[in-house]
Chain A
């Protein structure tokens, strides 16, 4: 026989053995390949989205010629001064000042629907000449004629606005009607959570409206020749720029804003891919242990006839590598349509990325990593084969387990004889105790599943709870009135005196938020909106300290305090248009609004740039807040009247919706995972215990009695898993959420747990899942007769 021939024969034997193995374990093999495919699909899709996202943002920024530095400015502007400043800067290649006309939301109508409930800040603009271009959906520079308007994609995606629909701006003096001719991609304000939105109109319309808008705002935009100079230009403008009444942003911030809104998706995909790899690894381990239990005799025979350990290992490894490869290929192929679905919104907002070899290789890399991780795990598991001795295997006993040397041999403590528990229940408990190593993996999975369901669920019940207002930097009141438009601001004193005398109003307090600057820990000046007013009327709940009581005191949001490195009792310098003043920090509170960096004070705001005014009020006894809100809305259409119960929804709507979606998805994943792992574990334990089951059946223990033992094992481990999971949720989960939510401004977030849901419905769902999985796996012991056991 030639060596070539011998190799072929050997391969044929391997293939035959693999086929035979597949026939025996068809369901398990398909499930395993499916799990690996799912992990590969998620990883490949994640890779694809990542590359498409960065590619698309890059492409959009190039086509739109996104500015490197943008200063937003509200109020009068000296254009000559801006030009003079810019001409002095050698790093700049171009600059421009773009006028925007903020439209109060109550004056903007989409197909006759007023936008007064919206938290967005729409503004009319014209197309720029050389850079910061607004693009259509084909990435062409948009041009609109008189009477036409190009709307941000946001309105199409969230409000179903279509090309051809009517949009009108109804100023007190005059009404302007527009037809939507296109939707626009705005490289700076595309993200859903950028509240400023630019609406493109013709120069003629802009000119006509401009005279009727009291406070136009300006975007002062710069292009730098070398992007490494961006920071220097920003700093220079902050120090010496002529018009600085507003935030200063740079290209990096715009990139992040665009990336973050889609990046959350990538993070979730990566997390899920990691989770699926872990699940596949656990399932593989169960499948492998089942195979070992079942094949111990065959392994013994192979060893006895002299087949090298390497050869036996390869036999098993080949099977798992084949499964991993099949899963990897299927996952990669499925990721092509999946990525198109997942990136649909991304491509709509940002456009298609430029062709790059990364577009093809990134998904393959993601899937490849999954396959590699699975193969490495299998190779690690297969070391166990070496521990099976030939004679043990031939006797078809289970593989020897490593003894814990530090444990002395002792008499078994728990005995059926001394127990008062029903025999089946005791047997189940005893099995857990005697083979804890086998059960701990199931325990780990069930703990993980409990954690997986409860963390997002508790977070969701927290963000939807009425007490969530605590984290939004506002005192608890029935209604919140926001005065943003000039018309609203103009009517503020009239509004306040009316509210003071309104018998339906029990308490009322007004606040003015003005923009100041404070030094951060790096010594740089940062903007800080300071809300001044009677904070004692609707007191906040403070993390530390109290509300400010005099013009020399200030309370900081926890993010602002962190950014400044300020402690209670310390003095900080507040820099405003009218000069600087020293204030003492007297309190720290949690605030997730306005980027999380805010302050409460009683400082004089005359002459300072006012950001907005708000009014908090409580309805009198017997007055329904909803009815009062309705009445105030009608009486003061320029004022946004929001019920406090809707405030969280209005400001953090996206976060709340996403949390709800994640909680639902996590619950589904956890239930599927629990069912899968529980049934695989049941198969493995039954394969391992077949002799024990056969003996009991032979003795006359009924199948039901044996099933009770298995249900006991599963349910006791489940109860322990739920308990451990709940403890982990309360400790690790809370810290995890606090660190994420903390970065948004609420570091001391406490879960607002809905006990019936978290400790009633969830355990019930998991119990039913595990119970059903165990019952299905143990539905028939017909093959496990003692007569068959004796044949072996």
Chain B
């Protein structure tokens, strides 16, 4: 099987061999919820490097900690222990877990994009306004450029004609496309998705995944959480979590065709009980 794999017993393989291309690094992340007497561990020492331009799918059974990992990696949830570092090419790295709320917000606004299972669009804004809001917030002096880019992105995701509609006047799939356009408005180089196709039917899910693949091909790193093997098959790396720990990590070989990759992934996931 032409795949690079790692298992729980060989965790160091989840780390990138060349740090030069690493985009995001997690070191010993722990996350616990609840009070001391009723504490639940969601993540138990996660170490992972994510390469620039990678498309990583995080999978695992319910309660395995995959969404928690995504939120810890993006700085939305504070970690209990460990560090997350965002590497910026030749520039200095940023330790996400050491940032103050204000700086974290700035980081998410300018360098990260998010797509959620629930579309989480703001109810009092039109579709176009929802897309431009993060752009206006990040670049208040470049409004015309932001609007032009928002319209361009809406065309790109195929809902240009819906720009001026209320969010109550569009379907779930259309709203998820709007959410992708919003995620890309500030041209982030890292896009997170938390089950972005979870609330969509199969054909809509496929269309959304096409878009995310396209986003990845443009050079952006994509990290998404999914239950769906078909979604995971669009990634080039799949990490399986179990009980808050990495249970497996499979990377697609460049020589594999889509079918070969899908087949080997299915077998690998079965062997990991996913």
Contact = CB atoms under 8 A, between A and B. Distances in A.
A697 interface: yes
A131 B133 CA distance: 86
Interface string A412-433: 1001110010110001001100
Interface in B70-118: 71, 76-77, 101-102, 105-110, 112, 114, 116-118
**What DSSP secondary structure best describes chain A's contact surface?**
helix
B125 interface: yes
Given A422-B140, A699-B182, A701-B134, A692 B114 contact: no
A340 interface: no
B210 interface: no
Nearest to B75: A700
Interface residues of A, number: 32
A161 to B, nearest CB: 67
A153 to B, nearest CB: 65
A696 B122 contact: yes
A785 B76 contact: yes
A423 B194 contact: no
Contacts, number: 101
A435 interface: yes
Contact of B67 (A412, A434, A697, A787): A787
Contacts of B150: 417
Contacts of B132: 416-417
A786 B137 contact: no
Nearest to A424: B137
A702 B106 contact: yes
B105 A787 contact: no
Interface centre among A423, A430, A435, A696, by most B CB within 10 Å? A423
Contacts of A702: 101-102, 105-106
Q: Which size class do B's interface residues fall under?
A: 35 or more
Given A416-B133, A422-B140, A786-B76, A699 B114 contact: yes
A99 interface: no
Contacts of A703: 101-102, 105
B137 A701 contact: yes
A698 B118 CA distance: 13
Contacts of A692: 122-124
Contacts of A417: 126, 128-129, 132, 147, 150
Contacts of B10: none
Nearest to A702: B105
A705 B105 CA distance: 10
A411 interface: yes
Interface in B134-150: 134, 136-138, 140, 143, 147, 150
A698 B134 contact: no
A698 B120 contact: yes
A691 interface: yes
Contacts of B122: 692, 695-696
Contacts of A412: 126, 164, 166
B105 A697 contact: yes
B174 interface: no
Interface string B203-214: 000000000000
A431 B108 contact: no
A694 B120 CA distance: 9
B134 A699 contact: yes
Interface centre among A417, A423, A430, A694, by most B CB within 10 Å? A417
B105 A701 contact: yes
Nearest to B131: A417
A435 B122 CA distance: 13
B182 to A, nearest CB: 7
B221 interface: no
A645 B81 CA distance: 76
Contacts of A700: 105-110, 112, 134, 137-138
A459 B255 CA distance: 89
**What DSSP secondary structure best describes chain B's contact surface?**
helix
B68 interface: yes
A786 B109 CA distance: 14
B125 A698 contact: no
Nearest to B76: A787
Contact of B140 (A423, A696, A786, A790): A423
A420 B125 CA distance: 16
A713 to B, nearest CB: 12
Interface centre among A416, A691, A785, by most B CB within 10 Å? A416
A702 B116 CA distance: 19
Contacts of B166: 412
Interface centre among B67, B105, B112, by most A CB within 10 Å? B105
Interface in A365-417: 411-412, 415-417
Contacts of B138: 700
A156 interface: no
A207 interface: no
A704 interface: yes
A422 B166 CA distance: 21
A391 B124 CA distance: 22
Contacts of A789: 120
A434 B124 contact: yes
Nearest to A704: B102
A702 B109 CA distance: 9
Contacts of B143: 420
Contact of B118 (A411, A420, A696, A790): A790
Contacts of A691: 120
B124 A435 contact: yes
Given A417-B129, A423-B137, A700-B106, A790 B112 contact: no
A705 B117 contact: no
Nearest to B195: A790
Nearest to B136: A423
Contacts of B108: 698-700
A41 B160 CA distance: 62
B97 to A, nearest CB: 15
B120 A695 contact: yes
A692 B164 CA distance: 20
Interface centre among B71, B76, B138, by most A CB within 10 Å? B76
Interface in A452-486: none
Nearest to A420: B143
Nearest to A782: B101
Contacts of A434: 124
A431 B124 CA distance: 7
Contacts of B128: 415, 417
A308 B1 CA distance: 60
A296 B93 CA distance: 44
Interface string A675-708: 0000000000000000110111111111111000
Interface centre among A435, A696, A787, A789, by most B CB within 10 Å? A787
B77 A785 contact: yes
A169 B126 CA distance: 87
Nearest to A788: B77
Interface centre among B137, B147, B164, B182, by most A CB within 10 Å? B137
B136 A416 contact: yes
B114 A698 contact: yes
A145 B182 CA distance: 98
Interface centre among B68, B133, B140, B147, by most A CB within 10 Å? B133
Contact of A790 (B101, B106, B123, B194): B194
28 contacts: A415-B129, A416-B125, A417-B128, A417-B129, A417-B132, A417-B147, A423-B136, A427-B133, A431-B124, A435-B124, A691-B120, A695-B120, A697-B105, A698-B108, A699-B109, A699-B182, A700-B109, A700-B110, A700-B134, A700-B137, A701-B133, A703-B101, A703-B102, A786-B71, A786-B76, A787-B68, A790-B116, A790-B117
Given A417-B129, A790-B117, 12 more contacts: A411-B164, A412-B164, A416-B125, A435-B124, A698-B108, A698-B120, A699-B108, A699-B109, A700-B110, A700-B134, A701-B133, A702-B105
Interface of B: 67-68, 71, 76-77, 101-102, 105-110, 112, 114, 116-118, 120-126, 128-129, 132-134, 136-138, 140, 143, 147, 150, 164-166, 182, 194
9 closest Cβ contacts across the A-B interface? A700-B109, A700-B108, A416-B129, A787-B71, A423-B136, A702-B105, A434-B124, A695-B120, A787-B77
